[in-house]
Structure 1
């Protein structure tokens, strides 16, 4: 009899290739895990509306989104950790002076504080998603936001890191940085789920490749870095599998003995 485990998968560079395609071997492996009674979940920096199609394709209803700020267990919201709006308002004013646009994000939509900017276009288009932010500079008012995107070249986020202690800044694109609540992470979101489900650490697994996966992979006992991950990510993982394009998910699941 197979002992039930819970497995968390990052999306970009882990489940999906650089071209945002889901390898057939990955899809097949996910369904085999589910058939054997395991719980399969997603842990991503993306907003919930950015991976609806993937959740439907893989029949996954448990996920950690916004790098841990919006957590759903079996279709029901389990935990939220919104941004501090007063600090966000100040950051946005500062960013405007620096000609660094921002995009406000809640669980349903995203809105830009400027009508148009090539940093936004390049970054969002790289995700190859259907959604694109429309213009609403006051979208932050009167609602919970779980993440904001700050658009600036690499290195220019340092000034914000020094001045806005309520936030953590995680770069995901040469032109874009995730702004999340300080101390928030995929690891904290995952902890909410595994505590609710009662899984011991021996039966928790996580796969990832990006800098925003470091805390997750260093916290989960059975952690797997993709072959295409950065060295800093590989260093904290217990296992390193092949790249996503080389059937890395299937290979990794075989490595850890789940398949």
Structure 2
């Protein structure tokens, strides 16, 4: 039976050095040759994984944790964050000296010209730069599909309490994703399978991070990497090896995809 394979990027497709293992690339090519379909499901913006998608010949993806969905190269869902909410959370963050980064599908900008927390966390993504340019009013003139707030873990609860219409998902020691409440990779999957025609039970999700929890709950079968967060592992139908130990390829073999 043909499956739709939903692949997280960081810690799943890419190893801890942000490289695509040869074993993973080979496994994807073999799975496609066996008739399975591939889609990326990530919290990243499209411009952050354009080269990877081209290398893997993947033209369907869920990005921004479900806010921007593309099928066969064409956008089928664009869920921008409400501008008033962005204004309110930006003001809230400014009063606490917490910078914010706004993103559309093509670029990211910052509310400040430099902040070490922005540099530290963006550097970890290895996307070719470490600090986006300053453009405080970006959200007024462009759709923002995801934002980032830069704060310590102990400062995060204030955001949850003050903004029930937004979700804050920590992805780094000093940074959280900002999404519309209820937004997730799972919601993006629902939209994608309507376009692809796959049944939900024929989807297999591969991931490792907290932003993969809802995807693991929804997919027909869930695979968590050995390097995955313990909370995510609780959702797994199968836990494979660490991403640095060919975990993705081993999972494909275990499931009979290759």
TM-score (norm 2): 0.97
How much does 1:148 deviate? 0.4
8 Å CA contact 1:171, 1:177 repeated in 2:
yes
Give 2:236's aligned residue. 237
8 Å CA contact 1:9, 1:41 repeated in 2:
yes
Give 1:119's aligned residue. 117
Which 4+ stretches in 1 moved above 6 angstroms? none
Distance 1:242 1:35 in 2: 24
How much does 1:143 deviate? 1.9
Distance 1:130 1:39 in 2: 29
Distance 2:208 2:81 in 1: 25
3-state SS of paired residue (1:46): coil
Distance 1:113 1:137 in 2: 4
Equivalenced residue count is: 257
Give 2:11's aligned residue. 13
The yes-or-no answer on 1:54 pairing with 2:37 is no
Deviations 1:212-254 (A, max 9, x none): 0000011112110000001110111111111111111111112
How much does 1:195 deviate? 1.9
How much does 1:84 deviate? 1.1
- Please give the residue correspondences for 1:172-251 in structure 2 after superposition, counting only pairs within 5 Å: 172-251=171-250
2:23 counterpart (22, 25, 28) = 25
Q: CA RMSD in A?
A: 0.9
Give 1:90's aligned residue. 88
Distance 1:202 1:93 in 2: 43
Give 1:136's aligned residue. 135
Distance 1:14 1:225 in 2: 8
Deviations 1:171-205 (A, max 9, x none): 00001000011100000101111122221233111
8 Å CA contact 1:69, 1:184 repeated in 2:
yes
Distance 1:151 1:202 in 2: 37
TM-score (norm 1): 0.97
| Structure 1, gaps ≥5 residues long | none
3-state SS of paired residue (1:134): coil
Give 2:254's aligned residue. 255
3-state SS of paired residue (1:21): coil
3-state SS of paired residue (1:7): strand
| Structure 2, gaps ≥5 residues long | none
How much does 1:165 deviate? 1.5
Distance 2:201 2:66 in 1: 21
Distance 1:142 1:136 in 2: 11
8 Å CA contact 1:221, 1:238 repeated in 2:
no
8 Å CA contact 2:34, 2:257 repeated in 1:
no
